[in-house]
Structure 1
Amino acid sequence: MRLRKKYWARPELEASHIVITDLYAHTGNWKEEFKNNNEIHLELGCGKGKFISEKSKQNPNINFIGIDLKDEVLVFALRKVIEVRKIEGEENINVRLMPLNIMLIDDVFSMNEISRIYINFCNPWPKERHNKRRLTHTKFLTSYKKFLKRGSEVWFKTDDLELFDDSIEYFKECGFEILFLTYDLHTSDFEDNVITEYEAKFTEIGKKAMFLQAKLK
């Protein structure tokens, strides 16, 4: 579905301390941006922000960066983070948001800056000629390895069976070890799930969420 342009979104994003628009200014210096040495977790495609806002609240000693392409979506993530965190002064929030095409992510982070990646319900790109656009494709995993710490994990959720099965192979091909895997997350024994907006909608109609944790060897 094509989003209607919201011309007020970019000014609202640029006015916020927690939104980073100078995309390459912090490469290698993200700890200085957060003003601490805490681990940094990255959500690729943060949508309207339910996942990253809840995760950041549950884990105040971890820093979070959420990336999404569209200002029209990211502005709602910004509002959600501020609503959920309810911390006086945005400078105290352990979240940063970035409007970014993930295909341009290579130079945003330096080696060993990121300790975990979350990929939640990304576009499955089912046509074979489009498979390389999948955020779990070996093309992207190779890019993530440039800034992921060794031993770090990628947490991946989807409701698309073909994407999930293909992604298992992508991770293995790129030197990741599958630590946990389930084809029905909500009936599994995994206890650290945060349900996204999209996830809540499709579970209401009986669809299952598939999930895996992959560790970079």
Structure 2
Amino acid sequence: MRVRHKPWARGKLEKHSDIVIPSPRYYNGEWGEVFHREAPLCVEIGTGKGKFIIGMAKKRPDANFIGIELNESIIVSALEKCLEAGATNVRLINEDARGLTDFFAEDEVDDLYLNFCDPWPKKRHEKRRLTYSAFLAQYEYVLKSHGVIHFKTDNQGLFEYSLESFSQYGFLLRNISLDLQHARDAKDNVMTEYEEKFTDKGQRIYRCEAVCSD
């Protein structure tokens, strides 16, 4: 999907540095200071325009949420949603998620959300998939014991690959759904912008949870 460039986005992000954290590495292991409280820490990689993370923040006011998004013309929409909702338990990071272990300390994160990431279907691009083993190593490092990766996609091939990748790495799989919108717990599902579009078109949504076994 082509993203419209917003030249004013950088200025707005900098204006709201209390929400879009400018130096996330500084808070590695100390995110409670940013939120002014200690609470379960939940991280979404590729937060997009913010519909999901704001929805989750409303659903779980007891938790602290951090959304990571590289594109400033996209994350500015998440900022706007955050301001509109008055979501005090949401912070944003405008950085590449490949620096995850720079932002978070070992055993610091309770829940990690991967929603509709790029499937990179060609075999030569396998290492770019967010469920490739090198990424799983980072997730395992920042997740607490029994921390959970929540994974959703509309791509069957990526889903099958990810189930195998999670399993081979040693994560325990649970709550696997091949058609999330018709699952028993569908009413509790918080949708992303993409998910709404896919669902309206009648496309299947695949979901699983991978639990850190350490």
Shift of 1:154: 0.5
* Distance in 2, Cα, partners of 1:4 & 1:39: 35
Which of 95, 119, 124 is the matching residue for 2:119? 124
AA aligned opposite 2:10: R
| Superposition deviation, residue 19 in structure 1 | 0.7
> Quick check: which one's helix share is greater?
2
The counterpart of 1:208, out of the listed 190, 195, 204, is 204
Shift of 1:23: 2.6
Deviation at residue 107 of structure 1 after TM alignment: 1.1
Distance 2:103 2:191 in 1: 27
**Structure 1 range deviating more: 56-65 or 104-113:** 104-113
Number of the residue aligned with 1:164: 159
Q: Please identify, of 27-36 and 58-67, the stretch whose mean Cα deviation from structure 2 is larger.
A: 27-36
| 1:3 Cα deviation after fit | 2.5
Partner in structure 2 of residue 192 of structure 1: 188
2:59 corresponds to 1:58: yes
The runs of 4+ residues in structure 1 deviating greater than 4 Å are: none
Name the residue aligned to 1:90: none
Alignment size in residue pairs: 211
Rounded Cα–Cα distance in structure 1 between residues aligned with 2:127 and 2:101: 16
Counterpart in the other structure of 1:14:
14
Instruction: Supply the RMSD in Å over aligned alpha carbons.
Output: 1.1
Q: 2:108 aligns with which of 104, 107, 113?
A: 113
TM value normalised by structure 2: 0.95
2:77 matched to 1:76? Answer: yes
Gaps of 5+ in 1: 88-92
Moved more, 192-201 or 69-78: 192-201
Q: Which runs of 5+ in 2 are unaligned?
A: none
1:4 Cα deviation from its structure 2 partner: 3.4
CA distance, structure 1, for counterparts of residue 26 and residue 11 of structure 2: 19
SS of alignment partner, residue 12 of structure 1 = helix
Q: Secondary structure at the match of 1:31?
A: helix
**d(CA) in 2 for partners of 1:4 and 1:157?**
25
Q: Secondary structure at the match of 1:43?
A: strand
CA distance in 2, matches of 1:5, 1:83: 22
Q: Distance in 2 between matches of 1:150 and 1:56?
A: 23
TM-score norm. by structure 1 comes to 0.94
